[in-house]
């Protein structure tokens, strides 16, 4: 994952200082991108010293902070080619009626308002430059229900709708959007979850990096508005599907009718 290309392509990654954000930051830097990393701490991920990486302290739920940070990136580099909405949160694993209201809602704010604000701030600059791509770090959780993680699952379902809306509205402007599920990457977050207690098999971060780079390079544009998953999807198969086309609604959240006679089908 190295390249001789000059760092003229600019990526913005939220939650870049650790975990999945750090993995993606290192992957993009290795492929010749300039990366602006946003996080609440403003920290720099390990292993990026001496590379074209800039850290910005930014609360992704703060509209003014997001607007100001995006403006600084554009002022410095004149463009943003890729936005990776990675920053996210999860709540304690309890039934909905046992959830703390503020904690539950905070997950929704971070996981939905954050990507909304970043996309809203970045996409106009992409349109002005002729196009760009948005990667939303989604999850298989967004495609199904949960008895214990209702905020997280609801937020990821909502995020898929942001992805789809961005893809539809952005199509005429060359702006594409993708849901990328990272699988189960070993991290502080996954180790904190009862769901993964005792887990010994984890998604290889290299699978996630390869998918993200393929999206960033335009190899999977046929999945615009759709969902791909690291650790499960085969990249060569995705490339072929992207070239050949997908059926209406494939890899998208849709209501499943009970049969051909269902009036809402």
Which residues have CB under 8 Å from 97's CB, separation 6+?
A: none
Contact status, residue 251 vs residue 238, Cβ threshold 8 Å: no
How many residues make up the chain in this entry? 265
SS3 10: strand
- DSSP 8-state assignment for residue 263: T
CA Rg, the chain, in Å?
18
Q: Which strand (E) or helix (H) includes residue 57?
A: strand 53-57
Is 152 noted as a catalytic residue in this protein? yes
Catalytic residue among 33, 152, 178, 227: 152
Q: Which two tokens stand for residue 91?
A: 């709540």
Strands of the sheet with 53-57, listed across from one edge: 53-57, 34-39, 10-14, 82-85, 132-137, 175-181, 227-229
Closest by CA to 135, choosing from 226, 264, 37, 61, is 226
- DSSP 8-state assignment for residue 41: S
Longest pairwise C-alpha distance within the chain: 62
Q: Give the up-direction half-sphere exposure of residue 151: CA atoms within 13 A in the CB hemisphere.
A: 25
Catalytic residues: 152
């Amino acid at each position: 994952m190295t390249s001789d290309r000059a760092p003229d392509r600019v990526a913005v990654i939220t939650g870049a200082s650790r975990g999945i954000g750090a993995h993606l930051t290192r992957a993009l830097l290795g492929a010749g991108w300039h990366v602006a990393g946003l996080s609440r701490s403003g920290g720099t991920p390990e292993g990026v010293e001496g590379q074209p990486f800039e850290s910005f302290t930014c609360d992704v739920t703060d509209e003014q902070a997001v607007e100001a940070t995006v403006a600084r990136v554009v002022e410095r580099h004149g463009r943003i080619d890729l936005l990776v909405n990675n920053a996210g949160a999860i709540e304690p694993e309890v039934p909905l009626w046992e959830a703390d209201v503020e904690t539950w809602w905070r997950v929704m704010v971070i996981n939905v308002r954050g990507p909304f604000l970043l996309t809203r701030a970045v996409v106009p600059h992409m349109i002005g430059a002729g196009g760009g791509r948005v990667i939303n770090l989604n999850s298989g959780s967004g495609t199904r229900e949960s008895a214990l993680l209702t905020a997280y699952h609801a937020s990821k379902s909502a995020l898929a709708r942001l992805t789809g809306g961005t893809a539809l509205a952005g199509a005429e402007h060359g702006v594409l959007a993708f849901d990328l599920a990272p699988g189960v990457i070993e991290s502080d977050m996954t180790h904190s979850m009862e769901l993964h207690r005792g887990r010994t098999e984890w998604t290889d971060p290299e699978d996630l990096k390869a998918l993200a780079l393929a999206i960033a390079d335009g190899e999977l544009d046929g999945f615009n508005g759709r969902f791909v998953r690291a650790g499960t999807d085969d990249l060569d198969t995705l490339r072929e599907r992207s070239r050949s086309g997908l059926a209406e609604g494939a890899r998208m959240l849709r209501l499943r009718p009970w049969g051909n006679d269902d009036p809402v089908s």
